[in-house]
Structure 1
Amino acid sequence: MHLSLAHIHAALGGTRVIRDVSLEVRDSAFIGLIGPNGAGKTTLVRAIAALIPHEGTIDLDGQAVATMEPRVRARAIAYLAQGAGSHWPLEVSRLVALGRLPHLAPFRAPAPEDEAAIARAMQLADIESFGGRDVLTLSGGERARVLLARALAVEAPLLLVDEPVASLDPYHQIGIMEVLRAYAGAGRTVIAVLHDLSLAARYCDRLVLLDEGAVKADGRPEDVLTPENLEAVYRIRAIIGGETERFVLPLARTD
C-alpha cells in the first residue's frame, strides 16, 4: 500500500487547522500521530478518510481518495472516530458485522469469508464473551472495543483510529495496542491518533509529531520523542527511558 499526502491544508469554521502537511507511507506500518490538543491530529485523519474538504492531494495506491467510489473507499479505508458510540439496542455480533457492509452486494447475506472476518475481529478485540449481548448494556470501555472490532472487520489495507485507548483501563490499553501492532504486522497500515507517549514509543514503527497543524518531526519513536521536541511542542520536561520497553514520564511544565 502506498499512501501519499502532498501539501494538505484544511480549515474548520474558517480557521486553518492543517498547514502544508506532506507524508509518504509505503508498505505496512503502525504510525502514531501525536501532538498536543488542537494540533490538528483528528482533522488530518478525517481528511485522509475524505470526510472533510481540504486543499492538496491525498492518494492511495495512485488514486485520489476523494474521487474513489464510496464503496471502494470504504473497503480500502476503515475509520474509527474519536468517541464513537452506539445509540441503538443492537447485539454485539451484529454491530461488528456492520464492518463487512462495504464487501456485501445489496440484499446479500454475509458469505463464509465475511463471517470469518467478523470472528477474527471479535477475537482480536477480545469481545467474544459478550457477542450475544445488547451493546447498550456494556461499559464505555467495552463499547470502545466493540467499535474497534467493527473497524477491524473491514480488513481494510488502511486503518485510521482516533484515540483508540482513551476510555480503556491499562490492561485493555495494552491489549488494543497489541491488536493494532498485529494488524499492521499482517501487511496493513495503521494510523492512530495517540496521547499516551509511552504507548506510542513502545508500539509504533513511526511517529508523526504535529504542532499547530504542521509536521514538527517525523521518524522513529526514539528520534521524535526527544527532550527538545517535548519541550518545544508539549511544553514539558520529561524522563525518556528504556531500551526495549521505552517510556516517557512527564515531570513538569516549562512555562
Structure 2
Amino acid sequence: MRLSLSHVHAALGQTRVIRDVSLEVPGGAFIGLIGPNGAGKTTLVRAVAALIPHEGRIELDDVPVAAMPPRTRARAIAYLAQGAGSHWPLEVSRLVALGRLPHLAPFRQPAPADEAAIARAMALADVENFRGRDVLTLSGGERARVLLARALAVEAELLLVDEPVASLDPYHQLGIMDVLRRYVDRGRTVIAVLHDLSLAARYCDRLVLLDEGAVKADGRPDEALTPANLEEVYRIRALIGGEGERFVLPVARTD
C-alpha cells in the first residue's frame, strides 16, 4: 500500500505545526520520522491517521484517508500513540485481541482468522508467555510489547508508532525495534517517530528529518544524519560512525 502526502499543512489550535509536507512512501518500508522537540512529528502521524484535520492530500493507494469509511481506515492504518498505556486489569490475550475490532462485525466473536492474527501478533512481539497475565502486573517494557502486539494484531498495511521506545531500557528498546523491523520484512510499512538517532540510523530504511514543521532532509540514514543537518536542526555536534550498525553520539551543543 502506497502512502502519498502532497502539500500537507496541519495546525493545533491557531498554531500551524506542519508546513507544506510532501512525501511518497512505498509499501514495505521502515520510515523513521526524526527531528527536535516541537518539530511536528506527532502532529504529522496524527494527520496521516486522520485523527486531526489537515490541508493538502494524504492518500493510501490514491484514496484520501479522511474519506475512507472509519472501519476501512482502521483496517488499513494501525496507530500506537506516544505513551500508550493500559489502566484496566485486563488479561494480556484479551488486550491484544482488541486490535481485531476493525475486522469484527458488531457483537460478533473473533473468527478463526482473527484468533490466528492474534497469535501471530503475540508471537511477533514475543509476549506469548504473558497470555494469561493481568497486563497491570507486567513491567513497563513488557507492557510496551503487549501494546505493540495489539497494534500488530490489526495486520494493517501501514503501522504508525509514536516514540515506541521512550522510557525503555536499552534491552527493551532493541526488542521493540527488532519487532518493527520484522513487521516491515513481512511486506508492510512502518512509520516510527524516534528520538534515538542511533536506533533510527540502524533500523530504518529511510529517515525524514522535520524542522519547524517542514521537511529538512529525506533519504537514507547517512544522507539525513549529516554533521551539517545535526548542527543546523538539532544544534549539536556528534560522532557518526559504524560499519553496518551505524551510531550517532552527541558530544556537544553548538549554542
Name the counterpart of 1:108: 108
Structure 1: unaligned runs, 5 residues or longer = none
Q: Distance in 1 between matches of 2:167 and 2:153?
A: 21
SS in 1 for 2:85: coil
Partner of 1:202: 202
Distance 2:207 2:187 in 1: 18
Distance 1:99 1:80 in 2: 11
The equivalent residue for 1:188 is 188
CA distance in 2, matches of 1:180, 1:136: 24
Q: Which structure 2 residues correspond to residues 98-247 of structure 1 after superposition, within 5 A?
A: 98-247=98-247
Aligned residues: 255
Supply the distance in 1 between the matched residues of 2:13 and 2:86 (Cα, whole angstroms).
Answer: 27
Shift of 1:140: 2.2
Q: Which position in structure 2 is the counterpart of 1:57?
A: 57
Q: CA deviation at 1:13?
A: 2.1
Distance 2:73 2:35 in 1: 27
**SS across alignment from 2:19:** strand
Question: How far 1:37 sits from its partner (Å)?
Answer: 0.3
Q: Deviations over 1:86-136 (max 9, x none)?
A: 111111110000000111112211111111111111111121111111111
Q: Distance in 1 between matches of 2:128 and 2:164?
A: 19
Shift of 1:142: 1.8
- For residue 185 of structure 1, report the CA deviation from its aligned partner: 1.1
Distance in 2 (CA, whole Å) between partners of 1:126 and 1:233 is 36
- How far, CA to CA, are the matches of 2:234 and 2:243 in structure 1? 23
User: Are the aligned partners of 1:144 and 1:167 in contact in 2 as well (CA < 8 Å)?
Assistant: no
CA distance in 1, matches of 2:183, 2:237: 33
State the shift of 1:252 in Å. Answer: 0.4
1:196-254, Cα deviation, whole Å (9 max, x unpaired) = 00000010000000000000000000111000000000000000001211000000000
TM-score (norm 2): 0.98
| Greater displacement, 165-174 / 43-52 | 165-174
Q: Which whole-Å CA distance do the structure 2 matches of 1:64 and 1:130 have between them?
A: 38
Which AA in structure 1 matches 2:170?
P
Residue 26 of structure 1: how far off its partner (Å): 1.4
| Divergent runs of 4+, >3 A | none
- Report the CA distance between 1:24 and its aligned residue: 0.4
TM-score, normalization by structure 1: 0.98
- Give the superposition deviation at 1:167: 2.5
